[in-house]
Amino acid sequence: MIMTKLKRVLAVLDGGVADRVPFSAYMHSTVHDKTSAGFIKFTLDFYRKYDPDYIKVMFDEHYDLPVTYDFVRSREVWRLLEEFDEHIGAFGRQLQALKQIKDTVGPDVPVIQTMFLPFHFAIRLAYKRILEDIKQDPQSVLYGLDTIAENTIRFGRACLAEAGIDGFFFGAYGCERSWLNEQHYKQFVMPSDTKVVDALSAAPVTILHIHGESSSYFTLLKDYPCRALSWEDRLAGPSVAQALTLTDKCLVGGIDHHMARSCSPAEIIKQAQEAIAAAGGRRLILAPGCTFLPDTPPENILALKQAVTGRE
């Protein structure tokens, strides 16, 4: 019997058997249009073209800072971060877009919000200058991260209660040795990140993305309270087969998103078949290791659906 997309995704998250392996395809979208209307159109057009099993909403707006600040350009700014209303500014525009997207596709299609975790937001605000701030004024950085966490939690709860979405794709950026060693990651990143994931873990669909192309902290983050793990298995490892021995959670991956920019659709299908075989057709959502890049040929993205359905 053919399942709805929501039932299919929930089945594999529960470790059960679905009618087929679900798949995900997504691409950052603010580069296409910064308006809410343009963003909604891009998201729905992308969904209708590639037909993934859930819509991963990829709104890339800037985190709202106090008036007169565009970035965290000095360590003093971390102390100026403040509580704000999640219904206005960048988060407010996301809520509006989420509700319209969910209302359009209906209850049988999972809609999940890409939720940057606090350190990910902080990197977007300060980039690698945050590493110097951690050395010079660690308490101010921790204060800022905790403030970001509280705002993110309120926004996430509004996404569930007001927009009616089905869950979150938590983006953990900087979780690799090129950013912080393991000790500093545990000290400065994990408290605020896990605060957000803990608060929103009851959502039906929760996926943690462990970002990193080499030496990522997969084993450190694999026990976060979420239902599935996404990571760059083809680049950073572990492989899908290895990950199955490290966690009982559902896995999200299998496709090298960098290679997808230049290979043939046949190579995408080959990688997909390898991942599906490694997982035995269970506990897997076929997906790119990270977002498909804008120059990825459409036929390579469409190959994911072909790999799991056998149809072009």
List the domain range (segments joined by +) for residue 116: 5-309
pLDDT, one tens digit per residue, over 150-174 is: 999 999 999 999 999 999 999 999 9
Inter-residue contact 244 to 283 (CB < 8 Å): yes
The CA distance from 312 to 307, in Å, is 9
Q: Taking all residues of the chain, what is their mean pLDDT, rounded to a whole number?
A: 94
> Among 29-38, 76-85, 104-113, 263-272, which stretch is predicted with the lowest mean pLDDT?
29-38
pLDDT of 271 over the 90 cut: yes
Inter-residue contact 234 to 214 (CB < 8 Å): no
> Among 48-57, 200-209, 302-311, which stretch is predicted with the lowest mean pLDDT?
302-311
pLDDT, one tens digit per residue, over 21-44 is: 999 999 987 655 667 888 899 999
Please give the average per-residue pLDDT across 209-222, as a whole number.
Answer: 92
How many folded domains does the chain comprise? 1
Whole-number pLDDT of residue 60: 76
Whole-number pLDDT of residue 61: 75
- Only one residue has tokens 């100026």, namely 80
What pTM did the predictor assign?
0.96
Whole-number pLDDT of residue 35: 76
Partnered with residue 167 across adjacent β-strands are 112, 205
> Among 35-49, 243-257, 272-286, which stretch is predicted with the lowest mean pLDDT?
35-49
Burial class (CB in 10 A: 0-12, 13-18, 19+), 79: middle
pLDDT, one tens digit per residue, over 90-106 is: 899 999 999 999 999 99
pLDDT of 48 over the 60 cut: yes
Whole-number pLDDT of residue 85: 93
Confidence band of 264 (pLDDT split at 50, 70, 90): very high
Whole-number pLDDT of residue 31: 53
pLDDT of 226 over the 70 cut: yes
pLDDT of 299 over the 70 cut: yes
The CA distance from 175 to 309, in Å, is 34
Whole-number pLDDT of residue 312: 62
Q: What is the CATH number of the domain that holds 203?
A: 3.20.20.210
Whole-number pLDDT of residue 33: 61
51 Cβ neighbours under 8 A, 6+ residues apart: 305
